[in-house]
């Protein structure tokens, strides 16, 4: 508030206290013929503030001063695209699993995020390797603060702990990041294809949700296109493995070579990740697997897909019995509570020396299905997604070369997306200019028809109206062409924005600060 009032130094300020109904109205009125702002905001105590400009021909207008005040970030600066993220590269699974949001809850999360004071749009990307929230924020600092506090409340983790592990990216850096994620460059396994499907799922599930707005939906659609292009034009996916295949590789690394095809395998969960586990087990020579699942339907579907392997179905009630009969146990379920803890496995029979004497739990779920305490049980070892780094360390030079090829494509697509987003700045001016011309056209048309009176028949009236529309459209064609920018011609963005400001001045299209009032009022309405 102080920064706002300081912008009006040298003017007379009259402040009267009042207690308006809730939500309170903080009213700022600039007594200038072309500037008036009414702003609603949450405040414990409210005031009616009347700012009256003292007569001074040499001073800036109240409107100009308003634009250089603290409110300027709402009226002139473009809202920021931001990502607040926690990934496998910087955050242990213990924290990621608490903040994980199930797919069914993504729409609710978007609505809650957009109800925050400084968040306009939002999306949630949550996988076993990352938890990332993408937002369009009116203020970077306040947006980060509000989203972090929301994450803290949702996951039950202190803000300080989230802040220690999170990464923050803004605008072009945030855009580049989601492009890299979609292309598989940020994955634990470079180029893995599952992440592209997950980005597509975000767009599919979020479509139609009010907070998944034009900027964020455009960002994700472009990221999907980038992911496809990178995989088409580079060889980054060749030889790449998914989390599921890395899990199988890890199990084989821990088993004696002689047990690769003879170890007794149990899979808990028959979803997408479980299906990929079976696919890679089959490729390694596995011929028999027990699958525990809530229903037999998905297991029957797996039998149809993998007819060369024996798949035995067991219900969830038999899970512990099956675990006691298995040497390697893969877990891939959406359970939000652990399926195996120390007390569950300490009574299981020991495995034979032919498989190394150690029962292996390979857990690729987030939240985890196997508690870390299982490692306290003798002859038992539990691995989670964070342990897969051991598998992907090989062939790093080849992977980096492919990543460099992908970055060239991302650089090109980043420019295209930024041009598209920057072009959105001119949309309000285009609308205002059209409305301005239409008001003049309809007003003069009405005067013309009144003068013609009854002497004009319907055909004449229609011809006059068509003529008026044609004249207006031809006059507007040139200015509107110079307001449209998509990065495909020689005109620069600076030139386009300069044209926008010139038209605003010439036609007096910025005679009010309606954008500020509209954005703040919308946020208040959301919270009612």
- Residue 285 zone, left/alpha/beta (φ > 0; ψ -120 to 50; rest): left
Phi-psi region of 166 (alpha: psi -120 to 50; beta: other; left: phi over 0): beta
DSSP H/E element including 383? strand 380-383
- Residue 79's Cβ-count burial label (10 Å; 0-12, 13-18, 19+) is buried
- Residue 473 half-sphere exposure toward CB, CA atoms < 13 A: 6
Spatial separation of the C-alpha atoms in residues 399 and 402, rounded to whole Å: 5
Contacts (Cβ under 8 Å, ≥6 apart) of 287: 261, 308, 309, 310
Q: Per the residue annotation, which of 41, 114, 126, 128 is the catalytic one?
A: 128
**Is residue 41 annotated as part of the catalytic site, yes or no?**
no
In 418-494, beta strands by DSSP E: none
- Strand 359-363 and strand 167-170: the pairing is unpaired
Query: Do 33 and 62 touch, CB atoms closer than 8 A?
Result: no
Q: Helical H runs in 26-122?
A: 62-67, 72-75, 93-99, 106-114
**How far apart are the C-alpha atoms of 290 and 319, rounded to whole Å?**
10
Strand, coil or helix: 328: strand
CB under 8 Å to 149, separation ≥6 — which residues? 159
Tell me the two tokens of residue 437.
């011309």
Give the DSSP H or E segment for 481.
helix 458-481
Contact 429, 479 (CB under 8 A): no
> Tokens for 318?
């038999």
* Residues that are catalytic: 128
């Amino acid at each position: 508030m102080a920064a706002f009032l300081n912008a009006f130094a040298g003017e007379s300020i009259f402040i009267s206290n009042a207690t308006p109904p809730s939500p309170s109205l903080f009213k700022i009125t600039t007594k200038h013929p072309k500037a008036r702002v009414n702003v609603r905001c949450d405040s414990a105590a409210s005031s009616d503030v009347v700012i009256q400009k003292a007569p001074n021909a040499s001073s800036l207008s109240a409107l100009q001063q308003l634009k250089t005040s603290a409110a300027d970030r709402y009226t002139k600066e473009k809202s920021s695209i931001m990502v607040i993220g926690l990934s496998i590269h910087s955050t242990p699974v213990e924290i990621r699993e608490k903040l994980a949001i199930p797919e069914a809850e993504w729409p609710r999360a978007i609505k809650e995020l957009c109800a925050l004071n400084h968040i306009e749009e939002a999306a949630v990307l949550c996988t076993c390797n990352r938890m990332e929230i993408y937002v369009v924020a009116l203020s970077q600092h306040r947006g980060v603060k509000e989203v972090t506090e929301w994450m803290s409340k949702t996951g039950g983790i202190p803000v300080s702990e989230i802040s220690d592990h999170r990464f923050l990216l803004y605008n072009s850096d945030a855009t580049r990041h989601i492009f890299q994620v979609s292309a598989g460059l940020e994955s634990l396994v470079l180029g893995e294809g599952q992440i592209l499907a997950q980005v597509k799922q975000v767009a599919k599930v979020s479509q139609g949700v009010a907070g998944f707005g034009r900027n964020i939906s455009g960002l994700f659609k472009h990221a999907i296109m980038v992911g496809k292009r990178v995989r088409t034009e580079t060889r980054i996916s060749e030889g790449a493995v998914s989390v599921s295949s890395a899990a199988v590789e890890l199990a084989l690394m821990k088993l004696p070579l002689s047990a690769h095809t003879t170890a007794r395998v149990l899979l808990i969960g028959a979803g997408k990740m479980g299906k990929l586990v079976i696919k890679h087990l089959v490729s390694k020579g596995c011929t028999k697997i027990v699958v525990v699942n809530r229903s037999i339907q998905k297991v029957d579907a797996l039998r149809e897909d993998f007819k060369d392997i024996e798949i035995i179905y067991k219900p969830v009630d038999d899970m512990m019995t099956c675990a006691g009969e298995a040497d390697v146990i893969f877990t891939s379920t959406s359970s939000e509570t652990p399926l195996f803890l120390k007390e569950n496995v300490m009574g299981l029979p020991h495995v034979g020396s032919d498989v190394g004497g150690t029962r292996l739990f390979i857990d690729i779920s987030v939240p985890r299905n196997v508690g870390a305490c299982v490692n306290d049980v003798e002859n038992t070892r539990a691995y989670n997604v964070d342990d897969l780094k051991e598998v992907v360390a090989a062939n790093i030079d080849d992977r980096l070369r492919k990543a460099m090829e992908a970055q060239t494509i991302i650089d090109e697509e980043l420019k295209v997306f930024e041009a598209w987003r920057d072009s959105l700045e001119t949309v309000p001016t285009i609308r205002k200019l059209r409305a301005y011309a239409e008001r003049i056209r309809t007003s003069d048309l009405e005067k013309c028809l009144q003068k013609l009176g009854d002497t004009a028949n319907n055909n004449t009236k229609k011809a006059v109206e068509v003529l008026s529309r044609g004249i207006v459209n031809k006059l507007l064609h040139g200015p509107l062409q110079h307001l449209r920018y998509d990065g495909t011609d020689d005109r620069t963005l600076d030139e386009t924005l300069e044209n926008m400001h010139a038209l605003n001045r010439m036609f007096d299209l910025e005679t009010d600060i309606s954008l500020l009032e509209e954005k703040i009022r919308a946020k208040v309405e959301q919270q009612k």
